[in-house]
Amino acid sequence: MRIGDDNLFEIGCRVESPSVGNSNTVSTRARVHHTVRISSYCVIGAGCLVVPTDDEVLDEYTVVYGPSAERRVWSGRGGVQEADLRRKHAEYLRETLPKFNRLRRGDAHGHGA
């Protein structure tokens, strides 16, 4: 599997795609079949199942949404704002996660302090 930069994989998603480009979002509980290649700037909506009958490449700026995994192409408008928001989100996580990722003494084996 080849994965590009600045992708967001949300909780519970499953991606079996052989390649994922840059700046994609795969939302919560979304699933992408191994016959799908994801280019860049795509969004797979929450709970969507992307399973084509043949090998497929999602074109840049493809948005998959809804219960039947409908597709449309995003114009790319607002892309600069989206990229800025992603950078701020990543920065926030880099600062915040280490604060909650430490084990307290005695917690390593499930025992309280």
CATH number of the domain to which 22 belongs: 2.160.10.10
In a domain, 13, yes or no: yes
Q: For residue 80, is it within any domain? A: yes
Give the model's pLDDT for residue 108. Answer: 54
As given in the structure block, the two tokens for residue 32 are: 């992408």
- For the cut 90, the answer to whether the pLDDT of residue 94 exceeds it is no
Give the pLDDT mean for 83-95: 85
Contact 45, 26 (CB under 8 A): no
| Within-domain flag for 113 | no
Per-residue pLDDT tens over the stretch 56-88:
899 999 999 999 999 999 887 888 888 888 888
Looking at residue 82, what is its pLDDT? 81
For residue 108, is it within any domain?
no
Q: What are phi and psi of 71, to 5 degrees?
A: -130, 150
Q: No. of H helices and E strands in the chain?
A: 1, 12
Q: How far, in Å, CA of 5 to CA of 27, rounded?
A: 17
What domain range is 19 assigned to?
2-99
Q: What is the pLDDT of residue 54?
A: 81
Overall number of domains in the chain: 1
Q: Yes or no: say if 43 and 25 are a contact pair by the CB < 8 Å rule.
A: yes
pTM: 0.76
85 part of a folded domain: yes
User: Domain for residue 110, yes or no?
Assistant: no
Residue 84 and residue 91: Cα distance in Å, rounded?
11
Q: pLDDT for 2-56, tens place per residue?
A: 999 989 999 999 999 999 999 999 999 999 999 999 999 999 999 999 998 788 8
CA angle 37, 72, 84 (to 5 degrees): 75
